[in-house]
Amino acid sequence: MKLKKNERRQAIQQAIDNNPFITDNELCEMFQVSIQTIRLDRTHLNIPELRKRVKLVAEHNYDQIKSMEANEVIGDLVQLKPNHTATSMIEITTDSVFSKSSIARGHILFAQANSLCVALIHNPTVLTQESNIKFLDKVKLNDTVKAEAKVIKQTDKHYFIEVNSYVKDNLVFKGNFKMFYISEDEFNG
């Protein structure tokens, strides 16, 4: 049963409040309306498109990064708890896919995960020493990839980080990274 316009708009507002990273396509499926209807409803509610919502959240997180510049992160950093967890999102655009198949190039997913690991570590110098990665499913043009990084272990020179990347709820990439770091004292000493 379709909702009336005002009911649908309230429900859209609630859905975006619950998950600011929900896509217009997901909202279309949820409310069984066209993409144009979702866009009109968002405009009426003064809710920016996904990309702008992500950017607003990401801007706050970039100030916390010590190891790299904000423009060096591949994707948008939407959550950062230094030395613990981090999340980024990237929309797969035409420059990220093979033209014949519209499937994302593997180095895009790797770069998103790798730069997330570097950003996660709260030290001035962070380098990837080793990685073990698996591509589990194809990622296509216009997909939004959410990468979640979590520190598994820390030693006096290394962080061991697990990264899982998803399109919606589908795990598409998995990686384990061994990151070398130089502490603030060593960097300044």
Neighbours of 160 (CB within 10 A): 16
Span 61-92, pLDDT tens digits: 777 777 777 788 899 898 999 999 999 999 99
Cα 62 from Cα 50, distance rounded (Å) = 18
Q: Are 126 and 179 in contact (CB under 8 A)?
A: yes
Residues 6+ apart with CB under 8 A from 183: 123
Span 86-119, pLDDT tens digits: 999 999 999 999 999 999 999 999 999 999 999 9
Taking phi first (over 0 means left), then psi (-120 to 50 degrees means alpha), and beta for anything else, what does residue 22 get?
Answer: beta
Nearest to 181 by CA among 90, 42, 67, 74: 67
State residue 40's pLDDT score: 93
Using a pLDDT cut of 90, give the percent of the chain over it. 68
Span 127-160, pLDDT tens digits: 999 999 999 999 999 999 999 999 999 999 999 9
Nearest to 167 by CA among 68, 64, 42, 26: 26
Nearest to 121 by CA among 64, 167, 189: 64
Tokens of 140: 């296509």
